[in-house]
Amino acid sequence: MAKNIKEHLEDTFNDLGKDELKSFKNKLCDRKKEQGVRKAKIEKVTDAIDLADLMVNTFTSTGALPVTIEILQVIGCNEQAAELKENTGQCLPVARSHVDVVDSGAGLGLKVEFALSDDWHTQLHVLPCSQEFKNKILRENGQEIYEIKDKSVRKRLALLINNIDFDDKDMTRRGADRDEDNMEWLLKELDYQVVKYKNLSAKDIEEAVKDFAKRQEHAYSDSTFVVIMSHGKRDAILGVRYNPISNPSDTFPIDKVYRCLNTENCPGLRDKPKVILIQACRGGEHGRVWASDGESMAVEGDDFVHKEKDFISLMSCTPDTKSYRHVQNGTFYVQNLVDVLMKHAHEDHIEELFRKVIRRFDRSDLMGRFRQMACKDRASLPKLFYLFPGL
């Protein structure tokens, strides 16, 4: 059942912090345009339900919306205003699944913890793995570990796509440039050559992934990373041309990443770990493909291989939930991902590294009143993937 105006207002007010609600009530009392609200009435408001009741009773269901949006914009809550527009069909909605912005400098009284300082990458490096540790791990469990090619001969590639500036200016992903810098630094520290794109439509994202899958360097690599950062829906990434009314089709299904990089379409990465990192909000073919090592068509020279294998993904949030981004420091997902890999990639395999990232989000003090949970997805690694940084 569709929500009514009052319920939408309750949702919006519940999304505000204590200081934001106080600012909203103060502006409501001071409002000069048309009708204001007596201070005595506002003082009786104790929660989001009371405030929604007051708005509807004072301005009617029709009038409460524009007044609420106006005040939200005045007090700097543009993201909440945009989401309210989208959810109620007011104007052209912002193309975003959820409000995802945190600004601790906007007087919200938030207590958030940042994993990375402003100048961290000018002072630090990914901790290097020792040759002794690598030898020990391979000696004890070598058959269970992906082969890592010698640094002198391998050609590792990573794909990094970051959408910051959208046609709809309200969708600008403030702070996402910091994510790009941090992620590019990390990938280079892990000895990957970074193929980078910015501000792509869905069609351009697909072309970028397809072109990446065709790169000849994969034959000389031992693994790859694909990082895509943008606004998103449950199972898709939004292109920069996206608009829910005029251009709702500018979406790139995340499933296409796996299709482009599977054994059939990217044989250079066959039996090699493929790490997919998606920073965005989150919705049958046979599971095998015929493969041959040579030109012979004789059955005894061929074999069935898995069509999709050796993938692991870490999504920034669970389905249908929010993924938060600080307007100066970038997303909590990228901050914690970089910090964990920087400190622990020398001793842990990728699934343990991802568990440590997820563990960060389990802490109640990480993001103040905000909550987010990163999660692994579509994992098909039959072996352990150690990055062995520095080796």
Considering only CA atoms, which of 166, 22, 16, 5 is closest in space to residue 79?
A: 16
* Contact assessment for residue 361 and residue 321, using Cβ atoms and an 8 Å cutoff: no
Sequence letter at residue 211: D
Q: What is the dihedral of CA 276, 354, 222, 256, to 10 degrees?
A: -10
Which position among 281, 317, 346, 349 bears the catalytic label? 281
3-state secondary structure 173-221: CCCHHHHHHHHHHHHHHCCCEEEEEECCCHHHHHHHHHHHHCCHHHHHC
* Contact assessment for residue 336 and residue 360, using Cβ atoms and an 8 Å cutoff: yes
Which position among 77, 129, 218, 231 bears the catalytic label? 231
Concatenated DSSP letters of 56-87? HHHHHHHHHHHHHHHHHHHTT-HHHHHHHHHH
Angle of CA points 297, 298, 304, to nearest 5°: 85
Q: Catalytic annotation on 77?
A: no
Helices (H) and strands (E) in the chain, counts: 11, 14
Cα dihedral across residues 305, 310, 315, 319: positive or negative:
positive
Q: Catalytic annotation on 231?
A: yes
* Contact assessment for residue 99 and residue 322, using Cβ atoms and an 8 Å cutoff: yes
Considering only CA atoms, which of 172, 165, 239 is closest in space to residue 201?
A: 239
Residue 70 sits at φ, ψ, to 5 deg, of -60, -45
d(CA 309, CA 200): 28
Task: Compute CA distances 332 → 187, 224, 297, 329, whole Å.
Answer: 18, 23, 51, 8
Residue with tokens 């990573």: 158
Active site residues: 231, 281
